[in-house]
Structure 1
Amino acid sequence: MSAMPDAARIRIWDRWVRFTHWVIAAIVIWDLFGPTDPLHRKLGYAAAALVVLRIVWGFIGTRYARFSAWWPTCSYLRAYGRSLASGKPLRHLSHNPFGGVMALVLWALVLALAFSGWLMRLDAFWGEDWPQAIHTALAIALEVCVCIHIAAAIAMSVWTRENLIAAMVTGYKRRHPRHAGNTTERDRCDR
């Protein structure tokens, strides 16, 4: 049961977005820290398939799941960077521009890991060290990005007093009054 009445909140993340986010997160944790066995490979391919489906959902999905709601253009990145520097971060209902960049980087790393893992299994590269080296480097990059992602979600939740982690669990963020300021035009909730 939500502590906020329905009038005070807005659904941002649909079930598919939340499902793919948390399942991919669980797979990544398992594959980064669990055994390297046949399950590791199968889960890696499953994570890549979920990323591909999430990308498709970025074109055909619900309003805030679509790339049009959060694609991190240069102008949005600059404006958001300026708002952070001023100490008054712009509010975004979907991903903020920096969060959008991180989502794209994380997805690219999951896809690259699946591809490099597949390359390691090919007979053509049997005995070659470079596929393993690439796979390991990508895994380390993913670990670093996951840590940054988690730290940023916590830090922004504290700074903006909007629990971003809870929003990815429940699907809801708080609704602001019509002229709450600091909400971007692109994804304002009071249109």
Structure 2
Amino acid sequence: MTPANHDLLRNPVKVWDPFVRIFHWSLVGCVLLNQFVLEAGETAHQWAGYIACALVLARVAWGFVGSRHARFADFFPTPGRLSAHLKAVRQGRHPQYLGHNPVAALMMLGLMLLILLLGGSGWLQGTDAFFGEEWLMELHEVLANGLLLAAGLHAAAALVMGRLERVGLVRAMITGVKQSY
């Protein structure tokens, strides 16, 4: 998708459907619970991880059949899209997109991959073949820390880019509507 004309966002534009918004905030909840509230390795921690993986898998399916801006075809970060977006930003321009910009799309896909890798490494720790394997526990911890770092960067970027682009990005993930201010 090409960047939206700035005037297109002067009026409210419905962008994120209820599924995308519920997915997003449910995944945030699972990650925060597992990182800061639930005890690692306990049943609740495992279930929160499984729910997070199920959410990601549902989001992947929604990326093919969901609403316009939820579909991967709308925002998939191809090399051409990434290059054009980064070139514009380097030139001091901040093109607006109705859906994800290419860098945000890359981050979103990376976050979802980290969730699935965490789920897989956590599940493997409970199997007979890998139970008690130190390297796997360390990998799981590194992935968890990487997820937390990436999620923090994602949240900070949404705030900063929202200010630079003059668009309520966080508000849009709550209401589903994007608009310039």
Q: TM-score, normalised by structure 2?
A: 0.91
1:26 aligns with 2:29: yes
How big is each residue's C-alpha offset from its partner over 1:90-128, in whole Å with a ceiling of 9 and x where there is no partner?
Answer: 111100000000000000000000000000001112332
Aligned to 1:122: 127
> What SS does structure 2 have at the residue aligned with 1:124?
coil
Change (3 A) 1:127 1:174: closer
Contact 2:124 2:130 in 1 (8 A): yes
Counting only pairs closer than 5 Å after superposition, residues 82-161 of structure 1 correspond to structure 2 as 82-161=87-166
1:11 aligns with 2:14: yes
Q: Aligned equivalents of 2:53 and 2:137: distance in 1?
A: 18
Contact 2:124 2:131 in 1 (8 A): no
Q: Would you say how many aligned residue pairs link Structure 1 and Structure 2?
A: 170
Shift of 1:174: 1.9
Aligned to 1:75: 80
Deviates more, 1:7-16 or 1:37-46: 7-16
Q: Aligned equivalents of 2:43 and 2:120: distance in 1?
A: 15
Identity %: 38
> What SS does structure 1 have at the residue aligned with 2:174?
helix
Contiguous gaps of at least 5 residues in structure 1: 1-6, 176-191
Contiguous gaps of at least 5 residues in structure 2: 1-9
Shift of 1:10: 1.2
Q: Aligned equivalents of 1:8 and 1:81: distance in 2?
A: 26
> What SS does structure 2 have at the residue aligned with 1:127?
coil
Opposite residue 58 of structure 1, the aligned amino acid is G
Opposite residue 100 of structure 1, the aligned amino acid is A
Runs of 4+ in 1 over 4 A off after TM superposition: none
Contact 2:16 2:70 in 1 (8 A): yes
How big is each residue's C-alpha offset from its partner over 1:103-155, in whole Å with a ceiling of 9 and x where there is no partner?
Answer: 00000000000000000001112332111011001001101101110110000
Contact 2:125 2:132 in 1 (8 A): no
Q: Aligned equivalents of 1:24 and 1:127: distance in 2?
A: 27
Shift of 1:165: 0.3
Q: Aligned equivalents of 2:131 and 2:104: distance in 1?
A: 38
Q: Please, what is the CA RMSD of the aligned residues?
A: 1.4
Q: TM-score, normalised by structure 1?
A: 0.86
Q: Aligned equivalents of 1:20 and 1:127: distance in 2?
A: 32
Structure having the larger proportion of residues in helix? 2
Aligned to 1:162: 167
